[in-house]
Chain A
């Protein structure tokens, strides 16, 4: 559930738009920043706040790939495998990530530390192959560099 401070933030952001519904994506982002994911209760809370049925909020959450309706591991590793990354060896990067994290693409490791996802182009084609860990981009990778980056994470 959203805390007081974040509820106020959403109210403030709502003023940027002529209709309350437009604050939905910003509100979902605030919720996800707070908890790392968006629970059913939070979706209902946001729906009540903006005057939207739960079904609408759920529909939006599931439409956009970046909204998580389930908790993720401590680190969210996203590996781009689209064309420009594929041309520069993203296959090997993905295999290395899956190996180091003990989690296949689309899964969370048994210890809850890693969630690995294969993703579409992240707009870093000039630095291919690349991965993102949370908001941070890591570019011009080799399997060895990826391993080093991952092993350094606490």
Chain B
């Protein structure tokens, strides 16, 4: 195992306290940024090749350049801590262990984009963790890092937390904005994109919690240093949440580009009872399932997982041993997407329910051979036909499971059709 230093979840006791954070160099990046031109800050982030940790791996610096430089309307930042994708539990660790680095990243982002108000949207179930982050925000206000004329720089910005209330869809960025505005969490049609018309029709940037927590590192140590951590095209430290059939489930900070098999066997201590690996879902429930025999040389970075026929997503690695009933897992996920569909688009609202119903037939060994193709047909009709990507997220697990584990479905046919 390559033992690396931890930059997102440092092994320093009491790091969540502002005095401990400061005495370890905390808020120096923000001070440094305040001495730079805003464009220089954005440029630094752009050159670092930091890519979003919220699921789509979108280049962060590039996203920041979409914001208009001058605007007669206020500009906003919405930080995404909805973290509701099954298999994902990393942002919670940041709220708990390193809230000030997140706050510092938010402040740097606000300065770079000329933003005066940032909202951090956190899922309602994280009540305890919202209080932890709020305590850190309060401490930062007290020390003058947030508020009016910060550190005498003339730059002002506010940070407010906004509590969600149990809706996976609110992690989708346009739905998140509707939720902040006091609406049901319905996704919006794009274009217009958030940088043009976001919160209250004003220019808005949305970034994930972990993404923002990476930003101070880039400013302190420079883009060159950052861009050399891990995989060149998708660099930096990444939080991998490993769950399912492993001896030591949990969140592991690693450089991007670590082989999945190393994550499973070395970091997470292998599979209980020395059972064999059957499959993994590499990056949260929406990413395509991979068979154990497809994992040779596959690493936790955007290119490698794409080449393998899946994606990094939220780096929530779900591990399944040889005895796993994959049909039950898939059926449970289909139930999830059906429950969480906001109901706006017919293909998703109806299709997710049909997927679940057909999968239940397999679960109860009542399916017919045609039902395998029916599943694909339904999934294909959802994919690409909805306002937001929840539809795709519901379709991909089904499509990949049928393609890669057809035998599992055939084992679940009703006796008569054998």
Contact = CB atoms under 8 A, between A and B. Distances in A.
Interface of A: 16-19, 21-26, 28-29, 50, 52, 59-60, 63-67, 81-84, 86-88, 120-128, 132, 135-137
B180 interface: yes
Interface string B155-167: 0001010111111
Given A22-B182, A83-B87, A126-B249, A120 B200 contact: no
A88 B124 CA distance: 24
Nearest to A33: B127
Contacts of B329: 83, 86-87
Interface in B186-216: 200
A66 B165 contact: yes
A131 B261 CA distance: 30
B244 A88 contact: yes
Contacts of A87: 243-245, 318, 320, 324, 329
Interface stretch (B226-234, B297-305, B331-339, B346-354): B331-339
A122 B285 CA distance: 13
Residue from A26, A63, A67, A135 with most neighbouring chain B CB atoms (10 Å): A63
Given A66-B166, A126-B251, A84 B318 contact: yes
Contact of B332 (A17, A26, A59, A81): A81
Contact of B182 (A21, A128, A132): A21
A123 B251 CA distance: 11
A45 to B, nearest CB: 16
Given A82-B332, A125-B243, 17 more contacts: A16-B117, A16-B160, A50-B182, A64-B124, A64-B167, A83-B244, A83-B318, A83-B333, A84-B244, A88-B245, A120-B340, A123-B83, A123-B89, A123-B125, A125-B86, A125-B316, A125-B318
Contacts of B283: none
9 contacts: A19-B200, A66-B165, A67-B165, A83-B87, A87-B318, A121-B285, A126-B241, A126-B249, A137-B128
B328 A19 contact: no
Contacts of B342: 63
A137 B89 CA distance: 13
Contacts of A84: 86-87, 243-244, 318
A136 B91 CA distance: 17
Given A21-B181, A22-B180, A125 B89 contact: yes
A24 B165 contact: no
B255 interface: no
A68 B249 CA distance: 33
Interface of B: 74, 83-89, 91-92, 117, 123-128, 158, 160, 162-168, 179-185, 200, 241-245, 249-251, 281, 285, 316, 318, 320, 324, 328-329, 332-333, 336, 339-340, 342
Contacts of B316: 125
Contacts, number: 139
For the complex of A and B, the 3 pairs showing the least CB-CB separation, nearest first, are A66-B166, A64-B165, A24-B182
Contacts of A136: 128
Nearest to A137: B128
A25 B160 CA distance: 14
B181 A19 contact: yes
A121 B300 CA distance: 23
A154 B146 CA distance: 43
A135 B128 contact: yes
A124 B89 contact: yes
Contacts of B83: 123
B180 A120 contact: no
A62 B253 CA distance: 38
Given A25-B182, A60-B183, A120-B339, A125 B166 contact: no
B242 A126 contact: yes
Contacts of B127: 135
A125 B241 contact: yes
